């Protein structure tokens, strides 16, 4: 299929989930001549420094409660320490394996790969870091995003989520800044692994944009589990304790401080910038006036599209305020031969969405079947402890739109209630009063991510409350409540 005027039919920049899928389907299923450039590890954010290692850490962290619970069920078990080094070794082996899978998938589809940075030279030409150029009929930018630090002095003393998987040791204490997915997930993970976790979120409640009742329960559970969560609080100043003019640490004993200093000096934080390579406990002043010292500070304050220094604007590709590549419903940019998918377009920043955008791009360009990407009713999960699974409208957003009925129940699940734990779960449906469609489903529970995947099918199919009710319950489960809630909790 190769167009004789170009080296390739398609040149993909970025070897993450979206880029790899588009490249191998275009080559493998449509016979296109395809190349892909990646200057880091294949697999991108999701596989190498996001979803996959994070989820494995969620599993590791979840075992913290197992011994206590198992004892209540009659097991004679004793708890041992968590071995970060042992876990990390296995984690790295798994990531190497997955990266190999990605490379093999590309090779198996006949995609040429270039392990170097690429940028656009003109509408059909890509320039590689070694100075060579390749021409292509179509160019697909799938470079993802990267974590950002807030603009405060000494911010480079803090780590970002990419760095967590490389830590030599877990810190004794950590301050996490932010209240989004990454901040809340890592607060729970690290808390479970025995780190003293403090979280500052500048707004009134973490997980802004999600259903109030659901995020309220997540926040309450996080606090009960030991996360020192402060809302309405942000970081104001930070410096190495050694550089802090008062030098004194107001909230820890000298002995504790000594241990903390040693611990922090042992931790490799991979900071860059003016403080690169400098280590030690970090003094922090918050917007509410408190001063504290932490072994580590993690900025989980959002991610920016990786679109800088790519030659995009020079070419006429339009970028938005955050640097996101602006595309139409077919992922086409203002330059017709250049397309973009995934986090670099800052639409819905989730791996399965990037993959679907990649597939829709291939169908549009190589399948002669223009396919817009459907971004409506995407289910997602936040892997806090407990997890939150969500699809559709929150109660608050639905109420803005139309009259609704809310069916909601919160209870102690059988498994942990038997183990005398106070954990609560939430099952909630937001229903249109007019046509009875289930507009939103929100679950806070262990394995809510697994549950919302299935509930998501029903919500995406726009089933009604009566169709939910016609489904016989699976008993005894937590999720049976989704088909047994007879009377609305409230109407609005």
| The one segment of 76-84, 96-104, 175-183, 333-341 that binds ligand NDP by CB under 6 A | 175-183
Which residue number has the CB closest to ligand NDP? 180
CA 432 to chain centre: 30
3-state secondary structure of 68: helix
Asked if 447 touches ligand NDP (CB under 6 A), the answer is no
> Between 26 and 238, whose beta carbon lies closer to ligand NDP?
238
Asked if 221 touches ligand NDP (CB under 6 A), the answer is no
Residue 124 is a catalytic residue: no
Q: Are 235 and 297 in contact (CB under 8 A)?
A: yes
- DSSP type of residue 133: E
Residue in 19, 23, 45 with CA at minimum distance from that of residue 33 = 23
Asked if 302 touches ligand NDP (CB under 6 A), the answer is yes
Distance CA 216, CA 197 (A): 19
Q: Are 210 and 237 in contact (CB under 8 A)?
A: no
Residue in 319, 3, 360, 333 with CA at minimum distance from that of residue 139 = 333
Residue 464: how many other CB atoms lie within 10 Å: 15
> Between 46 and 118, whose beta carbon lies closer to ligand NDP?
46
Task: Kindly state the smallest distance separating residue 247's Cβ from ligand NDP, in Å.
Answer: 26
Task: Kindly state the smallest distance separating residue 178's Cβ from ligand NDP, in Å.
Answer: 3
Asked if 141 touches ligand NDP (CB under 6 A), the answer is no
Query: Taking CB under 6 A as the criterion, which residues in 317-376 touch ligand NDP?
Result: 349-350
Asked if 451 touches ligand NDP (CB under 6 A), the answer is no
| The one segment of 219-227, 256-264, 297-305, 399-407 that binds ligand NDP by CB under 6 A | 297-305
- Which residues are registered as beta bridge partners of 172? none
CA 223 to chain centre: 21
Asked if 381 touches ligand NDP (CB under 6 A), the answer is yes
- DSSP type of residue 472: P
Task: Kindly state the smallest distance separating residue 453's Cβ from ligand NDP, in Å.
Answer: 12
Structure tokens at 345: 């377009």
Q: Give the H/E segment covering residue 450.
A: helix 448-460
Q: Are 111 and 34 in contact (CB under 8 A)?
A: yes
| The one segment of 14-22, 201-209, 263-271, 320-328 that binds ligand NDP by CB under 6 A | 201-209
| The one segment of 76-84, 279-287, 301-309, 413-421 that binds ligand NDP by CB under 6 A | 301-309
Cis link prior to 386 (omega < 30° from 0)?
yes
Interacting residue with ligand NDP among 53, 178, 305, 392 (CB under 6 A): 178
Asked if 155 touches ligand NDP (CB under 6 A), the answer is no
Interacting residue with ligand NDP among 28, 62, 110, 150 (CB under 6 A): 150
Task: Kindly state the smallest distance separating residue 140's Cβ from ligand NDP, in Å.
Answer: 21
Residue in 462, 450, 382 with CA at minimum distance from that of residue 211 = 382
Interacting residue with ligand NDP among 155, 298, 382, 441 (CB under 6 A): 382
- Which residues are registered as beta bridge partners of 285? 237, 291
Asked if 300 touches ligand NDP (CB under 6 A), the answer is yes
Task: Kindly state the smallest distance separating residue 254's Cβ from ligand NDP, in Å.
Answer: 31
Cis link prior to 193 (omega < 30° from 0)?
no
Helices (H) and strands (E) in the chain, counts: 15, 23
Catalytic residue among 85, 230, 268, 475: 475
Q: Binding site for NAD(+): what residues are annotated? A: 178-185, 302
Task: Show Cβ contacts of residue 225 under 8 Å, excluding neighbours closer than 6 positions.
Answer: 188, 191, 192, 385
- Which residues are registered as beta bridge partners of 284? 238, 292
Q: Are 456 and 379 in contact (CB under 8 A)?
A: yes
Judge residue 111's burial from the number of C-beta atoms within 10 Å of its C-beta, 0-12 exposed, 13-18 middle, 19 or more buried.
Answer: buried
Q: What are phi and psi of 219, to 5 degrees?
A: -60, -45
Interacting residue with ligand NDP among 11, 42, 181, 339 (CB under 6 A): 181
Asked if 442 touches ligand NDP (CB under 6 A), the answer is no
Asked if 179 touches ligand NDP (CB under 6 A), the answer is yes
Asked if 182 touches ligand NDP (CB under 6 A), the answer is yes
Size of the site for ligand NDP (CB under 6 A): 24
Asked if 286 touches ligand NDP (CB under 6 A), the answer is no
Q: Give the H/E segment covering residue 23.
A: helix 17-28
Distance CA 487, CA 209 (A): 26
> Between 139 and 449, whose beta carbon lies closer to ligand NDP?
449
Longest CA span, the chain: 73
Asked if 17 touches ligand NDP (CB under 6 A), the answer is no
| The one segment of 30-38, 69-77, 116-124, 202-210 that binds ligand NDP by CB under 6 A | 202-210
Look at the block and give the residue holding tokens 């309220």: 216
| The one segment of 195-203, 213-221, 404-412, 423-431 that binds ligand NDP by CB under 6 A | 195-203
Task: Kindly state the smallest distance separating residue 208's Cβ from ligand NDP, in Å.
Answer: 4
Asked if 61 touches ligand NDP (CB under 6 A), the answer is no
Asked if 125 touches ligand NDP (CB under 6 A), the answer is no
Asked if 389 touches ligand NDP (CB under 6 A), the answer is no
Asked if 180 touches ligand NDP (CB under 6 A), the answer is yes
Q: Provide the annotated active-site residues.
A: 475
Would you tell me which residues interact with ligand NDP (CB under 6 A)?
Answer: 150, 177-183, 185, 201-203, 208, 234, 300-303, 349-350, 380-383
């Amino acid at each position: 299929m190769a167009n004789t005027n170009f080296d390739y039919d398609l040149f993909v920049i970025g070897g993450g989930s979206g880029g790899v899928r588009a490249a191998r389907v275009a080559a493998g299923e449509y016979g296109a001549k395809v190349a892909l450039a990646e200057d880091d590890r294949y697999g991108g954010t999701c596989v190498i420094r996001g979803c996959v290692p994070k989820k494995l850490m969620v599993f590791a962290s979840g075992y913290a409660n197992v011994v206590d619970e198992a004892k209540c069920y009659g097991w004679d078990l004793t708890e041992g320490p968590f071995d970060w080094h042992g876990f990390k070794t296995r984690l790295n082996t798994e990531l190497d394996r997955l990266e190999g899978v990605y490379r093999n998938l590309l090779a198996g589809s006949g995609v040429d790969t270039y392990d170097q940075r690429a940028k656009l030279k003109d509408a059909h030409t890509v320039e590689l870091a070694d100075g060579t150029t390749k021409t292509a009929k179509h160019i697909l930018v799938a470079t993802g995003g990267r974590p950002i630090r807030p603009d405060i002095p000494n911010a480079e003393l803090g780590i970002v989520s990419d760095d967590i998987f490389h830590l030599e040791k877990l810190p004794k204490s950590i301050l996490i800044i932010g209240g989004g997915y990454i901040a809340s997930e890592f607060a729970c993970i690290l808390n479970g692994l025995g780190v003293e976790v403090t979280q500052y979120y500048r707004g009134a409640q973490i997980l802004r944009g999600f259903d109030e009742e659901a995020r309220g329960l997540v926040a309450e559970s996080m606090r009960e589990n030991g996360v020192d969560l402060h809302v309405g609080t942000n970081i104001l100043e930070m410096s190495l304790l050694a550089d802090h003019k008062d030098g004194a640490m107001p909230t820890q004993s000298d002995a504790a401080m000594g241990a903390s200093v040693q611990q922090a000096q042992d931790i490799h934080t991979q900071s860059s910038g003016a403080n690169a390579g400098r280590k030690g406990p970090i003094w922090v002043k918050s917007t509410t006036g408190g001063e504290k010292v932490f072994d580590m500070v993690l900025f989980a304050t959002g991610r920016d599209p990786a679109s800088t220094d790519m030659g995009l604007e020079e070419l006429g590709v339009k970028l938005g305020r955050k640097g996101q590549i602006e595309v139409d419903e077919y992922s086409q940019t203002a330059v017709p031969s250049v397309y973009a998918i995934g986090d670099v377009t800052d639409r819905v920043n989730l791996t399965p969405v990037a993959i679907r955008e990649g597939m829709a791009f291939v169908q549009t360009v190589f399948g002669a079947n223009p396919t817009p990407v459907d971004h409506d009713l995407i289910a997602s999960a936040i892997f806090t402890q407990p997890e939150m699974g969500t699809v559709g409208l929150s109660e608050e957003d639905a109420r803005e739109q139309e009259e609704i009925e809310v069916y909601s129940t919160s209870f102690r699940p059988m498994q942990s209630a038997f183990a005398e734990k106070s954990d609560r779960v939430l099952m909630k449906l937001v229903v249109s009063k007019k046509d009875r469609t289930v507009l939103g489903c929100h679950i806070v529970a262990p394995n809510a991510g697994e549950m919302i995947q299935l509930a998501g099918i029903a919500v995406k199919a726009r089933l009604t409350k009566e169709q939910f009710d016609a489904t016989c319950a699976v008993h005894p489960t937590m999720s049976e409540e989704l088909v047994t809630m007879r009377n609305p909790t409230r109407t609005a």
